[in-house]
Amino acid sequence: MSFIEFYGGCGDFKGCFGPRDPYITIFGTELWHLIPHFIISLFVGLILFSKLFHLKKKQKITLDNKLIIIISIATLILLFFILAFFFSVRVLY
């Protein structure tokens, strides 16, 4: 199981029950099955962004807007890969 892998698919090969088209996997899970993971991480990233922006508006923290966006996006990406690794979906063809 690699980090990101590319598969060519089965095409018109007889006896193959997997996907016909090429596809990419993250930790052995097809991207199609990782949509809930992405939605959860997007939701958490948006909540973090709104909280940091709210704290900046109240002058409780002194972060630049660009840094708040970078922190939120980094959290989104890290959480997505953590969810993909620990809660992977295995599909056997």
What are the 10-residue block averages of pLDDT along the chain, 93 residues in total?
A: 77 72 79 88 95 92 92 94 84 61
Whether 53 contacts 68, CB under 8 Å: yes
Q: Which pairs from 61-67 meet CB under 8 Å and 24+ separation?
A: none
Strands of 29-30's sheet in order across: 4-7, 23-26, 29-30
Q: What is the pLDDT of residue 24?
A: 81
Q: What is the pLDDT of residue 6?
A: 83
Q: Are strands 4-7 and 29-30 parallel, antiparallel or unpaired?
A: unpaired
Q: What is the pLDDT of residue 93?
A: 57
Q: Is 90 helix (H, G, I), strand (E, B) or coil?
A: coil
Number of Cβ atoms within 10 Å of the Cβ of 56: 16
Q: Break the chain into its structural domains and give their ranges.
A: 4-86
